[in-house]
Amino acid sequence: MSKQLVFMDHDGGVDDYLATMLLLTMDHIELLGVVVTPADCYIQPAISATRKILDLMGFSHISVAESTVRGINPFPRLYRRDSFIVDHLPILNQSEVINTPLVAESGQDFMIKVLRAAPQPVTLMVTGPLTTVAVALDQAPDIEAKIEKIVWMGGALNVPGNVEKSLEAGQDGSAEWNVYWDAISAARVWQTQIEIIMCPLDLTNNVPVTSELVQKMGKQRHYPVSDLAGQCYALVIPQDYYFWDVLATAYLGHPEFYQLREWETEIITTGLSQGRTKVVSSGRKIYAMDKLDKDAFYDYILKQWTR
């Protein structure tokens, strides 16, 4: 059986490194490349940490690229700082050199090149804003035919967003961060015919990262992956943290854990609700991950980190 072709576009948060690691544990997936979008991170440490993770997990033949797109509403600095911490974790700094290549071209150009060269349509796994995808589509509309589907962590359909009104004046609390960073690009992707399977806050709100689960990772006593995963989760345990990017990515491993539901939606790009993914009749059809076999998901995550 041929492997499922996947291209990863993440935005450098703690959750994004874990999602990348999870993808690398899936034997039926061939990862064609990784692009980092400069959103929930500072880009240099995010690129560096990503390459070190590929090295650690034995995938240094996969190239990484730096997207040079820009968003509209920056992520809070406090979130973005985590990229420096992960890049400095001892377990990622045991070697003098980084072997995973950083390509010379921009992330958006690399995405176009990889999609054009792929022998069959590719699944885009996107765990940050859709800006790099939108810019690539604008530069090379022909790649739309090479995108099998987009699996995306983003949006809030029938629950409040996670952009806090107290942090962001001019926002009514309806937006999810990955949309809010650049709602215009999300709307651009909404204009395509590409199948979109999104993992919205509606679902992730039910799947917290618990102390119990993180401590179980320690008890598994595996090295180095379980250790790295546990350190990443330990970093975020003081805040309310959920399986966002990891939950979206696990869909590629076990779609049968999820029930999808179709919605008609539009992306609000202006005004107080900018960044909202609004359910509207005769809007753009998307699939949202709606229900989850939570026990199976938690078991799967623990199992995948035992390496």
Q: Is 9 in the site for Ca ion (CB under 5 A)?
A: no
**Residues 98-127, interacting with Ca ion (CB under 5 A):** 127
Q: Which one, 146 or 175, has the nearer CB to Ca ion?
A: 175
Q: Is 128 among the residues that bind Ca ion (CB under 5 A)?
A: yes
The Cα–Cα gap between 170 and 8 comes to 32
Rounded to a whole number of angstroms, the minimum distance from the CB of residue 206 to Ca ion is 18
Which CB, 38 or 128, lies closer to Ca ion?
Answer: 128
Q: Does 71 bind Ca ion (CB under 5 A)?
A: no
Assigned token pair, 9: 């576009």
d(C-alpha 69, C-alpha 77), whole Å: 18
Pairing of strands 258-267, 122-126: unpaired
Q: Which stretch binds Ca ion (CB under 5 A): 5-13, 156-164, 212-220, 224-232?
A: 5-13
Size of the site for Ca ion (CB under 5 A): 6
First vs last C-alpha separation in the chain: 25
Binders of Ca ion among 233-252, rule CB under 5 A?
245
Q: Is 82 in the site for Ca ion (CB under 5 A)?
A: no
Quick one: 146 or 168, whose CB is closer to Ca ion?
A: 168
Could you tell me which stretch among 12-20, 83-91, 104-112, 275-283 binds Ca ion (CB under 5 A)?
12-20
> What is d(CA 178, CA 281) in angstroms, rounded to the nearest whole number?
23
User: Under the criterion CB under 5 A, does residue 45 sit at the interface with Ca ion?
Assistant: no
Contact 174, 276 (CB under 8 A): yes
- CB nearer to Ca ion: pick between 12 and 230: 12
3-state secondary structure of 184: helix
Relative to beta strand 122-126, strand 147-153 is parallel
Q: Which is nearer to Ca ion, 45 or 128 (CB)?
A: 128
**Vertex 286: Cα angle to 12 and 65 (nearest 5):** 25
Query: For residue 175, which of 37, 288, 267 has the smallest C-alpha distance?
Result: 267
In 3D space, the residue among 21, 11, 15, 22 whose CA is nearest the CA of residue 45 turns out to be 11
Nearer to Ca ion, 11 or 227 (CB): 11
Rounded least distance, CB 96 to Ca ion, Å: 29
Shortest spacing between CB 223 and Ca ion, in angstroms: 26
Nearest to 200 by CA among 241, 260, 255: 260
Q: Is 13 in the site for Ca ion (CB under 5 A)?
A: yes
Binding residues for Ca ion, rule: CB under 5 A, are 11, 13, 16, 127-128, 245
